[in-house]
Amino acid sequence: MCGIAGIFSKEKISLDKIYKMQESLKHRGPDNQSYIIDKHNNFALTNTRLSIIDLDNHANQPMKSEVNGNVIVFNGEIYNYKHLRNTLIQKKINLKTNGDTETILEGYNLFGEKVLNYLNGMFAFVIWDNNKKKFFCARDRLGIKPFYYLKKSNTFVFASEIKSITKVFQQEKNINNVSLLKSVKYGSIHQPDTVFQNIKCLEPGHFLNVNFNNDLEKFKYWELNDFLNEDISFDNEQSYYDEVTSKIYSAIKIGNIADVDIGSFLSGGVDSSIITKISKNSSNKIKTFNISFDGKSEEEQSKLISTSIGTNHFTKKFDDHEISNCFENFIEAMDQPSFDGLNTFLVSKEASKHTKVSLSGLGADEIFFGYEIINKFINAKKNNSIFDSFIDTLYKIKPNRFFQKSFFNKIKIEDFFLNLRILNFEESENIFNKDLINNNENLKMNSDILKYDNQSENLHKRIFHFEIKNYLVNTLLRDSDNFSMSNSLEIRPLFLDHELIEFVSKSLSYSKKINHKPKYELNKIYNDNFQIKQNKKVGFEIPLYKLLNENLKQDIIERLNKKDDIFLNSYKANLKKKMKKKQNLSEIKNFYIISKWLEKNNISV
């Protein structure tokens, strides 16, 4: 796991530029920082390394092939690299290291761009192809590892973090207004856009070729829909369960490869308990981590699970003062505005004191339909009632859980998608100064969100595709990488093994015919492995009222009183009223994060 960055230019590349990019990524790789500048071909590559596989210095990057002079910088882990390594050895290829970086480099020498089909893991890498005089840039299928880039007339720049690019190209800090709108409304930004106009994010399952003329070609090598469109069936429910269980076990076992001790985030819930249990069966060396807050938490459940498995368990309870004290560092670590992620930042901060890598159950809710609101929507679409119209009217007058089912039954799925993760229901003209956001930008925001809707006739497939392509990629995975690596910690979301995703996609129609219960596959595995009764899901998030304690409250009020070029005074006055009543705390927290992030990064709109 590393930080990577590089420049390919017709202009002379200064050492100062590549050094600044390297320094800005040091938190991602404190174990080694190296760079290479090729003056003849006018490119520079740098890597900051967090050593997890093959700890020897020979595995440091940038790494050069003795065969043809190709050079690689790589961020991530290839879980099946030993298998690929054996394939290369059988082809009489001489390998100098015992790690995964060299297997990608020499795999590219052998297979070319098709090497991507052989890789199982999370990755973002760039290979300088010395014969073709081009950069070959690739990102993993699900988008676990980030890849940002800037294409100018004479220069191509890439990095693991946006800040590494703006560090040397400060003139590129022009805000993308549509991205700002998305950030205010949804707390996230939709790829390939970023918060800045000219800096882009390479989409999951894609690769780029960039040559000396700065011609950029982008290709897709993996598509989720290909597997959703392929239905498979089974003789009976048990045969399906046996196969999906085998896929889950394989995904977890293969993701445990490392030359350092491995940790695991253990909330005490089904997902993290399964990952920890299977991982402990594969290796005796495992540490578990849990953080909690005053009020509802899964701290005791986590301890029970840890004791039953036999892990070295670490837990910490954060009080209000500690949370607010960490907030400054949280904003500092933020690559672009994000509503979520403080919980990941805090648990990563604690885990990094004891390990370099931690396993995570992230993605299980998207794959196995674990979100309550989504299951309510699906159930509402199954049954119609003669009372629906009447109850729909009542829901609009007084929204509550009792009337929600009928309301869901009446609305279009497109409207459900547009409102699923929304934080702010205000119309943009009631939020922003009029010269900032126009109606075209509102329309673009909606179209950018609905592009994740594959419009399948199968409702489960449609939601499955939308959740993975949108919320998982744009929010959860982005935050997971950003806030773990800011603490020099690698997070491995093992449920996002692409072979498991492909199997679940192809068997989705069958699995939902035999059982509609949320996450029934994982619940069955849990019950087969634990005697401990499951608690009701609490959710791994910080209670928002804790952010409104006296330590942060005054700063929020000052920002609401201060005139700026973005938010209308009337909107901020309305937020102050909500704050007094402790209403819409998510909206207030999001306003505060955006305001503080813009200030810290010296950005004016």
The tens digit of pLDDT for each residue in 309-345 reads 999 999 999 888 888 888 899 999 999 999 989 999 9
**Is the CB of residue 585 less than 8 Å from the CB of residue 544?**
yes
57 with 160, same domain: the answer is yes
Q: What is the pLDDT of residue 319?
A: 83
Q: What is the pLDDT of residue 393?
A: 66
Q: Given pLDDT bands bounded at 50, 70 and 90, which one contains residue 222?
A: very high
Handedness of CA 177, 181, 184, 187 (dihedral sign): negative
Q: Given pLDDT bands bounded at 50, 70 and 90, which one contains residue 534?
A: confident
207 with 231, same domain: the answer is no
- Is 537 a member of any domain? no
Q: Examine the pLDDT at 40 and tell me if it is beyond 80.
A: yes
Beta strands of 510-585 (E only): which ranges?
A: none
Separation CA 452–CA 267 (nearest Å): 30
Helix (H) or strand (E) holding 24: helix 15-24
Q: Examine the pLDDT at 399 and tell me if it is beyond 90.
A: no
Separation CA 201–CA 165 (nearest Å): 12
- Is 129 a member of any domain? yes
∠ CA 402-408-412, nearest 5°, is: 165
Q: Examine the pLDDT at 233 and tell me if it is beyond 70.
A: yes
Q: What is the pLDDT of residue 434?
A: 76
- Is 85 a member of any domain? yes
Separation CA 507–CA 67 (nearest Å): 44
Boundary residue ending a domain (207, 222, 237): 222
217 with 232, same domain: the answer is no
Q: What is the pLDDT of residue 405?
A: 63
Active site residue 2: yes
- Is 490 a member of any domain? yes
Q: For residues 161-189, give the mean pLDDT.
A: 95
Q: Examine the pLDDT at 386 and tell me if it is beyond 80.
A: no
Q: b/e per residue, 337-367, with b = 16+ CB within 10 A?
A: bbbbbbbbbbbbbbbbeebbbbbbbbbbbbb
Q: What is the pLDDT of residue 396?
A: 62
- Is 18 a member of any domain? yes
- Is 453 a member of any domain? no
Q: Examine the pLDDT at 400 and tell me if it is beyond 80.
A: no
286 with 143, same domain: the answer is no
Separation CA 510–CA 504 (nearest Å): 10
Separation CA 247–CA 251 (nearest Å): 6
Q: What is the pLDDT of residue 292?
A: 87
Q: Examine the pLDDT at 551 and tell me if it is beyond 80.
A: no
Counted residue by residue, the chain has a size of 605
Q: What is the pLDDT of residue 520?
A: 94
Separation CA 356–CA 97 (nearest Å): 21
The tens digit of pLDDT for each residue in 249-267 reads 999 999 999 999 999 999 9
Which of the residues 2, 137, 201, 326 is marked catalytic? 2
Q: Hey, what amino acid is at 403?
A: F
- Mean pLDDT across the chain: 91
251 with 321, same domain: the answer is yes
Separation CA 240–CA 60 (nearest Å): 43
Separation CA 30–CA 291 (nearest Å): 25
Q: What is the pLDDT of residue 318?
A: 87
CA distances from 45 to 9, 53, 213, 257 (A): 12, 21, 18, 27
Q: Given pLDDT bands bounded at 50, 70 and 90, which one contains residue 281?
A: confident
Return the minimum-mean-pLDDT range out of 30-44, 197-211, 244-258, 435-449.
435-449
192 with 315, same domain: the answer is no
498 with 559, same domain: the answer is no
23 with 109, same domain: the answer is yes
Q: Hey, what amino acid is at 240?
A: Y
How many CA atoms does the CB half-sphere of 463 hold within 13 Å? 25
Matching residue, tokens 């929020």? 556
Residue 47 sits in a domain whose CATH number is 3.60.20.10
Q: Given pLDDT bands bounded at 50, 70 and 90, which one contains residue 390?
A: low
Boundary residue ending a domain (195, 222, 249): 222
Q: For residues 69-88, give the mean pLDDT.
A: 96
Q: What is the pLDDT of residue 508?
A: 97
**Is the CB of residue 64 less than 8 Å from the CB of residue 58?**
no
Q: What is the pLDDT of residue 397?
A: 63
**Is the CB of residue 336 less than 8 Å from the CB of residue 188?**
no
Query: Angle at which helices 372-382 and 459-467 pack, to 10 degrees?
Result: 160
Q: Whole domain around residue 363: which residue ranges?
A: 226-368+475-529
200 with 232, same domain: the answer is no
Q: Examine the pLDDT at 416 and tell me if it is beyond 90.
A: yes
Q: Hey, what amino acid is at 303?
A: K
- Is 577 a member of any domain? yes
Q: Examine the pLDDT at 590 and tell me if it is beyond 70.
A: yes
Q: What is the pLDDT of residue 202?
A: 98
60 with 171, same domain: the answer is yes
**Tally of structural domains, the chain:** 3
501 with 550, same domain: the answer is no
- Is 437 a member of any domain? no
Residue 306 sits in a domain whose CATH number is 3.40.50.620
Higher pLDDT, 323 or 243: 243
Separation CA 367–CA 508 (nearest Å): 10
Q: What is the pLDDT of residue 546?
A: 67
Return the minimum-mean-pLDDT range out of 1-15, 252-266, 376-390.
376-390
Boundary residue ending a domain (159, 191, 222): 222
DSSP state of 402: H
**Is the CB of residue 207 less than 8 Å from the CB of residue 138?**
yes
Q: What is the pLDDT of residue 541?
A: 62
Q: Given pLDDT bands bounded at 50, 70 and 90, which one contains residue 532?
A: confident
Long-range contact pairs involving 203-207 (C-beta distance under 8 Å, separation at least 24): 203/139, 203/143, 204/139, 204/140, 204/141, 204/142, 204/143, 204/473, 205/139, 205/140, 205/141, 205/142, 205/143, 206/138, 206/139, 207/113, 207/116, 207/136, 207/137, 207/138, 207/139
336 with 217, same domain: the answer is no
